[in-house]
A = this chain, B = another copy of it.
Amino acid sequence: MAVIKTRNQIFPQPEQFLVRDSINRDILNQMVSHPKAGAVLLFEGTVRNHTHDSNQEVIALDYEAQASMAQKMIYSICQDVLQLSGIHAVAVQHRLGRVELGIATIVIAVSASHRHEAYLASRTLIDRIKHECPIWKREIFRDGSSQWSQGCTACSATEYHQPKQTKSPHNLV
């Protein structure tokens, strides 16, 4: 029977999953450090100067969330990922509000016994957080205009765009 792992492997506290200040990757890295870890993977989503939706130059993103629901869902996704093989700890922070070009919008840290486990856990975390959690981004363009992102702009065009029939958070993993 699988042992349910406890909160001390999920960082930071859930009320710090969503933050308005810049994310410190070194702190998240430190949070997941573990004597049994042979691999630590840090994923950072960053603001880039273009999107799928538009030919305009993006200078920043602006994030909004149903924060209490998003926190609970991120925590639940972290719990699921800790049940994967070889995972020692996970840490997640996602920005809210305006984030400038080149700056991290989300940082995900994972420590695992082996690198393959770290890659699987990291991808599962970012994919599920992007596809399931009630967080939205608005693209702010050089000319001062803006538009809400249509689904997952960091995905390739052929990827999952949250069609209604498969949107349940429970049938994605």
- Residues A154 and B115 in contact in the complex (CB < 8 Å), given A41-B41, A44-B40: yes
Q: List the one stretch of A4-12, A25-33, A67-75, A163-171 in contact with chain B.
A: A25-33
How many residues of A sit at the interface, in one of the four size bands?
35 or more
Find the B residue at minimum CB distance from A109. Answer: B42
Residues in B whose Cβ lies below 8 Å from that of A47 = 38
Within 8 A of B (CB), among A122-164: 122-123, 126, 154-156, 159
Residue A79, interface by CB 8 Å? no
Residue A56, interface by CB 8 Å? no
Binding site for B on A (CB under 8 A): 25-26, 29, 33, 35-50, 101-102, 104, 111, 113-116, 118-119, 122-123, 126, 154-156, 159
29 contacts between A and B (CB under 8 A): A25-B25, A33-B46, A35-B48, A35-B101, A35-B102, A36-B48, A36-B50, A37-B46, A37-B102, A38-B45, A38-B46, A39-B43, A40-B44, A40-B46, A40-B104, A41-B42, A41-B43, A41-B44, A41-B122, A43-B115, A43-B118, A46-B111, A114-B154, A115-B123, A115-B126, A115-B154, A116-B156, A116-B159, A119-B122
